[in-house]
Amino acid sequence: MSADRGTLFEIDTIADGHALPRVLIAALEETSSPVCITTADLDAPGPTIVYVNPAYSQMTRRDRADVIGRSPRIMQGPLTDRSVLDRLRDDLSAGRPFSGETINYRADGEPFRIAWSIDPVLDDHGVATHYVATQRDVTAEVVAERVRLAEEGLDTALVDALGSPSDAEAALALLLDAVAVGAGRVAGYGTAEVILRDPTLGPLRASVDINAEPPANPDITVEVRVPMTRVDGVTIGSITIGNLRDDERNMIDRPSLNRVAERAAAVITGLAEYQRQRRTALRLQEAMLPRVDAAPDGFEIASRYLPGDVGVYVGGDWFDVIETATAIVLVVGDVSGHGIDAATTMARLQTLTAAEIRAGRPIDQIFDVLDRACRDDATMATMTLAMISTDSEDALIWSAGHLPPVRFGSDGATLVPVSPIPPLGHLRGEQPTATTTPLSDGESLLFFTDGLVERRGEPLPEGLDRLCAALGHAAGPLDDIVDSVIASRSAEDDTAVVAVRRHPSADEHEPPSPR
């Protein structure tokens, strides 16, 4: 054992007379962190590399024999930040450790972003004899963070645009500015320009300069262009990153830029939908009539919106049906109050919900966006969101202070025991919890606002019991069942109802009601 230990602590020469203990070499050879050791010569021609480990060779795609005895400057290129290198020299000259980020180049010329730290190795007199640099390729991390910030900026801009009292063109311009900023953040170079082909307003543009200085020769610049395409395949505009050199273009992560373009198309489409609904707020009854033309294969959907007979004409109840690749998403909600303010908030929440779902955002983030929208409007709203799987019998249900849905079928009717969080506008960071309930062949789920079950002077549980009793023996087409339960409401308050039925596997389902 002692012989082995002695062997490990013997000194081996690594390059040109430079030596390291064997135990240190063994550790460096095995670590996954790229390590480079150089001499401490800072004056021209500068330090030379005396050791690199396998992880360093893998990161830079340079064999050890190709770098030993050469300067670390072989890793640098046009995109390497000279100010970072100046700071590196200042720190090391003053005897300070250094850490920073810049662009380096692999052996084949591919640029990548590196984060690294350099520490001096001192002799007995405190004089630096070598520098040890530990390095890390952070390209993917930096790109992911830029995409996150870009998407967060688009979400915030959409909320602001939806709450802006300005005209449609000004709100759209606000959103396009955010798209340009987000695209520029992801690109990191050049000039980001967004062009939107709006059918009403015509071409609209927004741009932002990313580089602090214009290119030295603008006549030989290149560009990267990606389309902004809606989920239905319609291209509504484009994002162009221009004024680029070739090396800058090669550094741009195109998949991330495409992701920002897709998100931009989603929020722009959401804003356009909101503006359409805002223009028709005074005719909310007609605007909120069912717009579900057809249900996916194997499903039947029925939906209704009826304003209350007492008080203002428009209210804040709403529903929506959104199809994704693997599910049907049903939404029903109720904004507190009545009148144009409630109707406007309602339209805002409906638009945000649909835009976020179509963009594939996680449910907790969707509820967070809606919560911020309610807080911006100084109001609150309750909402239930259900994701009905088209591939299995599972239904996931989230509730923010809303009444539970009713599951009914041949075995009767029962309230689904959801786990509600506080209403939107009062979440205070609380995360929604999903309730999983089966929806088997022939079974239905009915979602509704309180106008369906509330009656003056009657406790709410009695209204819920009455609804379950009515659905417990309901039969026939789903449209007829929904009409029947709506007919029994008190008609004092607005009512939104949406129901879904999973059809039996065979041809046992009843034919849809002619409407």
DSSP notation for 254-283: HHHHHHHHHHHHHHHHHHHHHHHHHHTGGG
What angle separates helix 139-163 from helix 340-358, to the nearest 10 degrees? 160
Say whether both 77 and 184 belong to one domain: no
Residue 100 lies in a domain: yes
Residue 511 lies in a domain: no
Say whether both 341 and 464 belong to one domain: yes
Characterise 497 by phi-psi region: left (phi > 0), alpha (psi -120 to 50), beta (else). beta
Tally Cβ neighbours within 10 Å of residue 365.
14
What angle separates helix 363-376 from helix 139-163, to the nearest 10 degrees? 40
Residue 510 lies in a domain: no
Could you tell me the mean pLDDT of each successive run of 10 residues in the chain, 515 residues long? Answer: 45 57 73 89 82 91 90 89 90 90 91 91 83 91 92 88 69 89 91 86 82 61 89 90 87 92 90 70 50 77 74 68 92 84 83 91 94 91 95 94 95 94 93 93 94 88 94 91 88 83 62 44
Residue 245 to residue 191: CA distance in whole angstroms? 11
SS3 content of the chain, % helix, strand, coil (to 5): 35, 30, 35
Residue 165 lies in a domain: yes
Q: What is the pLDDT of residue 226?
A: 93
Phi/psi for 211 (5° steps) reads -75, 145
CA distances to 123, 212, 478, 510, 511 from 514, in Å: 92, 65, 11, 12, 9
Instruction: Give the side-chain half-sphere CA count within 13 A for 217.
Output: 4
Angle subtended at Cα 381 by Cα 375 and Cα 382, rounded to the nearest 5 degrees: 135
Domain that holds residue 105: 2-137
Tally Cβ neighbours within 10 Å of residue 227.
13
DSSP assignment string, 78-109: TTS-HHHHHHHHHHHHTT--EEEEEEEE-TTS
At which of 90, 108, 137 does a domain end?
137
3-state secondary structure of 126: coil
Q: What is the pLDDT of residue 376?
A: 87
Say whether both 447 and 330 belong to one domain: yes
Name the pairing type of β-strands 406-409 and 412-415. Answer: antiparallel
CA distances to 216, 349, 400, 495 from 333, in Å: 56, 9, 9, 10
Say whether both 132 and 151 belong to one domain: no
Residue 84 lies in a domain: yes
Q: What is the pLDDT of residue 203?
A: 81
3-state secondary structure of 116: strand
Listed in sequence order, the residues at least 6 apart from 244 whose beta carbon sits closer than 8 Å to its beta carbon are 189, 190, 215, 221, 222, 223, 224, 252
Q: Are 438 and 476 in contact (CB under 8 A)?
A: no
At which of 118, 137, 156 does a domain end?
137
> Domain with 310 in it: what CATH number?
3.60.40.10
Say whether both 266 and 313 belong to one domain: no
Residue 514 lies in a domain: no
> Domain with 216 in it: what CATH number?
3.30.450.40
Listed in sequence order, the residues at least 6 apart from 224 whose beta carbon sits closer than 8 Å to its beta carbon are 187, 240, 241, 244, 249, 252, 254, 257
Say whether both 421 and 358 belong to one domain: yes
CA distances to 166, 179, 220, 307, 480 from 158, in Å: 13, 10, 36, 28, 39
At which of 102, 137, 172 does a domain end?
137
Name the pairing type of β-strands 394-400 and 18-21. Answer: unpaired
Residue 88 to residue 243: CA distance in whole angstroms? 29
Q: What is the pLDDT of residue 357?
A: 94
**C-alpha closest to that of 349 among 423, 411, 283, 404:** 423
pTM (2 d.p.): 0.53
Cis peptide before 461 (omega within 30 of 0): no
Residue 353 lies in a domain: yes
Say whether both 108 and 156 belong to one domain: no
Residue 508 lies in a domain: no
- How many structural domains are present in the chain? 3
Say whether both 247 and 166 belong to one domain: yes
Say whether both 131 and 149 belong to one domain: no
Buried b (16+ CB within 10 A) or exposed e, 433-448: ebbebebeebbbbbbb
Say whether both 361 and 478 belong to one domain: yes
Say whether both 247 and 115 belong to one domain: no
Say whether both 335 and 359 belong to one domain: yes
> Domain with 15 in it: what CATH number?
3.30.450.20
Q: Are 280 and 286 in contact (CB under 8 A)?
A: yes
